[in-house]
Structure 1
Amino acid sequence: MAGTPGRPQPQLTDQNAFFWTSGADGRLRIQECRSCTALIHPPQPVCRYCHGHELAPRAVSGHATLIGFTVNHRFTAPGLPPRYVVAQVALEEDPRVRLTTNAVECDPDQLALGMRMEVVFEQSGDVWLPLFRPAAEQGEPAPLPEDDTAPVVRPMATTEKFEDKVALTGIGSSRLGRRLMVPPISLTLQACEAAIADAGLTLDDIDGLATYPGPGPYGGFSEGGVTALESALGIRPTWYNGGGETFGPGGSLIAAMLAVAGGLARHVLCFRTLWEASHGELLKQGRLPVPAGGDAGWLKPFGASSAAHTLAQNAQRHMHRYGTTRETLGWIALNQRANAALNPTAIYRDPLTMDDYLEARPITTPFGLYDCDVPCDGAVAVIVSAVDAARDLAKPPVLVEAVGTQITERMEWDQSTLTHEPHTLGQSAHLWTRTDLRPADVDVAQLYDGFTFNCLSWIEALGFCGIGEAKDFLDGGKNIARDGVLPLNTHGGQLSHGRTHGMGLVHEAIVQLRGDGGERQVPGARVAVVSTGGLAPSGVLLLRTDT
């Protein structure tokens, strides 16, 4: 095929060049382990199955099964104006190998899961992109590859729990809004100063700092990390931590808990700042440099530029397998908006009906506008303290009952579990091994909702209903309402309150357990579950009151 100019380019390396250039002779090539014949993708120096080290490219048939597709309406990618189809296919030789690609030479309305597809290459610069079209000969649709949905969770390493040594003692937030156009560090300072005052501490009491993701190329997603806050406030921490390879703010909180439990600090200030809305506006105005290109990886050459493109296909497969509908997801969006109406800090508070939800402009099928969270500017801070110090502070401490962190699925988005959001099942199973409490003991749930389907996956993974039963559990929205069996995202969630990447969920859990929720308060809330992260990595916290 003739090339599409301007597509994002993968970076050719000695390890992957065989894949990106194999289309020059029209043959698709995948790395093979010569010891066990498994196909390995993306290429690695070792076989993940038998741990053999003899690997080499192998030409495959180029036939695959269509296991997911989403019609992109909203996102733009160089060389790919909307509307285009991002797809995932599983190779016939080894369905464990999935390729993100574009479905081409077809009417998207005629695509169906299980179709047989065949590769067709498009040259783009120095690479040949493997695209897929429906094969000329179609039999009965093939079944989707099965996931192993029974994660093997390691038992507790010790009988002593670090969670018992810590408490959450202070919370604070900055003003939250769309395009506030203020320096992000000023938002961080507002949240941190509020959290310190809330705990009844002073700056001198803070001997630890933790954040996510820290400094780096995180446009709109960071104020500069620990370094920026230390520079502004002059804190001299005994311990600090910041980095992107953890499950968002929940990861920085657990790092702080471990530091406190290990005796490295007494009061750790954890913070998360976003200025995504202002960052986007400044880019449009030309007041910030456009980020350098760099390696487009395995997804972006096909216009899969957002987590939405991956998660939309997980949602599509859930619908295919379990009968979930768009209305199922709609009840989550409507619930969050109803709760946000009672929260004066929420960005979107206007009433939302099911018709509004269903008729909203499409983003990437099956997601519409109200399936997606709200980019915003704001900061949230939480203080982790030693439990013996916590009971002498200004507010009743919130205790940590258990955490769930174990990874049981592949990290790469398109190689991981097919039906659920990746990295919910293992982390949830791990959580329940660290406590005697059960899902029925939970009074309020603050579950990550970057997209509606994130939330659905956490509900099932945590055991509030069975796997595949969310359609019935969510029907009508009564079970997740504030007076239902599982009051959900009581501040409006990220779908209506604003995208704080999970730290706002932690903040709201503490508000509820303190009984400070005002009109949105769930009476008698004593146990709260909070999940942070979507796709990978992710994790979950179980919090409780001190009584």
Structure 2
Amino acid sequence: MATREAYITGVGQSKIGQKLTRHPLLLTLDAFKEALDEAGLTVDQIDGVATYPGRMAGYLGFSPVGTDEVIEGFGIKAKWRLGGMELSAQLGAIAAAADAVKAGHARHVMCFRTVYEAAAMARPDEYPMPKRGRVDGMSQWTAPFNATSAVTWTAQYAMRHVKKYGLTREQLAQIALTDRANALLNPRALVREPLSLDQYMSARMIASPLCLYDCDRFSDASTVVIVSAGDAVDEVTCTPIRIAASAGAVDRDSWDQAEWMASYATGRELWKHTDYKPKDVDTVQFYDGFAFLALTWLEALGFCEVGEGGRFIEGGHRIALDGELPLNTFGGQIGAGRLHGFGFAHEAVTQLRGKGGDRQIKGDPKVAVATSGGGPLATALLLARD
């Protein structure tokens, strides 16, 4: 192994559910134990911790666990840690951990993302939402217009594709249909019912052109990814997956009147840091908090031209499990549950190790792309099994 490289070693995931009663820190522990077992590491060997966006006291359902709680609760002796929103979206924590191990700041970094949104909504006394007496900051541009959900922010970009490039709902439906079909093959997936095109087309609209089935579902779960230094992979027992390249972009904090989502700048940047090309990629795990976001990543990373995303996925054959570019093989967030980005890195590693079970893609996949974010924030990871 290249000593100046960074590798993903252990990956782990807790139960994925809704309205779970298990404490979010314990869900994090479940995922951490699984990641350690897969890597063949012990807690004593972990010397770094990273997450995004850190514990948010005002929105505990969205982010209930921080690096300090993990370090203290799990007995980690950390030399390096990172836990805040000053990153290019969720997978930016993994990219930062890769930089840290390359620089020698740590040898094995536990990266995690824990969500508890469904449970928090069910138990508002334990996880209260903040109450404000006034509207200020970014919310002054959205709350007065009842645009408090990211679905309304995403819809404006999707509608431009409808008006300018001819995107149809039948084309966009293929993201949700593919996610659902793959989720049925994933025993951990949240959604267990198939979805037909007729069901999709008759669903209620949330923010045109996005319907109910274009949106992910609040979930309770934790995902852990361990990033290890190249000169430390002789300590692991699993197949290391190299982080061949990463890229991110932060256009602005606000979604207001941005011309392009940050995924487009991120996609262009990713290929500058590697000799790999889009044609070398065997599977893509694209952020789909809303289905349209996955379509933008196809365009942004050069799998098709800008504006051609709808025609690229038409019929769903190209992005199917047995297609030329299998997409979101675990069900994505639409099918597997809203894991807020980390599920895509987890699945990319799972596929490259050939551990996908019934959802494992054919052949011998060696290169994958995992992404997170939409709107003004985005991160992409290029992963390779050397």
Task: Provide the rounded CA distance (Å) in 1 between the counterparts of 2:161 and 2:21.
Answer: 39
Contact 1:163 1:402 in 2 (8 A): no
2:185 maps to 1:345: no
Name whichever of 510-519 and 294-303 sits farther off.
Answer: 294-303
Measure, in 1, the Cα distance between the counterparts of 2:223 and 2:103.
Answer: 25
* C-alpha displacement of 1:482: 1.2
Q: Which of residues 196, 212, 215 in structure 2 aligns to 1:372?
A: 215
Q: 1:186 aligns with which of 26, 32, 49?
A: 26
> CA offset at residue 193 of structure 1?
1.4
Q: Following the alignment from structure 1 to structure 2, what is the Cα–Cα distance between the partners of residues 528 and 188? A: 25
Indicate whether 1:326 and 2:169 are aligned. yes
Aligned to 2:60: 219
Structure 1 residue 222, shift from structure 2 partner: 1.9
In the alignment, which residue of structure 2 is the partner of 1:356?
A: 199
1:167 aligns with 2:10: no
After TM superposition, give the deviation of residue 236 of structure 1 in Å.
2.0
Q: Return the alpha-carbon distance in structure 2 between the equivalents of residues 179 and 298 of structure 1.
A: 32
Residue aligning to 2:295 = 456
What's the C-alpha RMSD, in Å, of the aligned pairs? 1.6
Task: State the partner residue of 1:413.
Answer: 255
1:299 aligns with 142
More helix by share: 2
1:136-190 CA distances to partner (integer Å, 9 max, x unpaired)? xxxxxxxxxxxxxxxxxxxxxxxxxx99521000001111101112211111111
Structure 1 contact 249–271 (Cα < 8 Å) conserved = no
Specify which of 319, 323, 327 is matched with residue 488 of structure 1.
Answer: 327
Counterparts of 1:413 and 1:164, CA distance in 2: 37
Residues of 2 paired with 1:311 and 1:336: CA distance? 19
Q: Which residue of 2 aligns with 1:543?
A: 383
Question: 217, 233, 237: which one pairs with 2:78?
Answer: 237
TM superposition shift of 1:464 = 0.7
Q: Secondary structure at the match of 1:424?
A: helix
2:286/2:370 contact within 8 Å kept: yes
Partner of 1:440: 279
Partner-residue secondary structure (3-state), 1:487: coil
Given that residues 47 and 80 in structure 2 are in contact (C-alpha distance below 8 angstroms), is that contact kept between their aligned partners in structure 1? yes
Write the distance in 2 (CA, Å) between the matches of 1:305 and 1:230: 34
Select which of 4, 18, 37 maps to 1:197. Answer: 37
- Does the 8 Å contact 1:174/1:191 carry over to 2? yes
Distance 2:3 2:120 in 1: 37
Structure with max Cα Rg: 1
What is the match of residue 373 of structure 2?
533
Deviations 1:502-522 (A, max 9, x none): 100000000000010111111
1:233 CA displacement? 1.4
Q: Deviations over 1:489-514 (max 9, x none)?
A: 00000001000111000000000000
Q: So what's the TM-score if we normalise by structure 2?
A: 0.95
Give distance in 1, aligned partners of 2:285 and 2:309: 17
Please, which of 242, 261, 265 is the counterpart of residue 106 of structure 2? Answer: 265
* Aligned partner of residue 494 in structure 1, secondary structure: helix
Partners of 2:107 and 2:217 in 1: how far apart? 35
User: Which structure 1 residue ranges, 5 or more long, are not aligned?
Assistant: 1-161
Q: Which amino acid aligns with 1:334?
A: L
User: In 1, Cα distance between the equivalents of 2:263 and 2:154?
Assistant: 13
C-alpha distance after superposition, 1:182-205 (max 9, x if no partner)? 211111111111111111010100
Partner of 1:498 in structure 2? 337
Contact 1:163–1:257 (Cα < 8 Å) also in 2:
no
| 3-state SS in 2 of match to 1:405 | strand
**Cα offsets for 1:248-276 (capped at 9, x unmatched):** 33111111111111111000011110000
**Greater relative CO, 1 or 2 (CA 8 Å, sep 6+):** 2
- Is the 8 Å Cα contact of residues 528 and 543 (structure 1) preserved in structure 2? yes
Structure 2 unpaired stretches of 5+:
none
CA deviations on 1:46-65 (whole Å, 9 max, x unpaired) are xxxxxxxxxxxxxxxxxxxx
Secondary structure at the residue paired with 2:222? strand
Between the aligned partners of 1:448 and 1:441, the Cα distance in structure 2 is 20
Partner SS for 2:256: helix
Are residues 369 and 403 of structure 1, via their aligned partners in 2, closer, same or farther at CA, if it must alter by over 3 Å?
Answer: same
Give the C-alpha shift of residue 410 in structure 1: 4.6
Partner of 2:327, secondary structure, is: coil
CA deviation after TM superposition for structure 1 residue 287, in Å: 4.4
Partner deviation per Cα, 1:340-392 (whole Å, 9 max, x = no partner): 11111111121110001111122122211100011100000000001122144
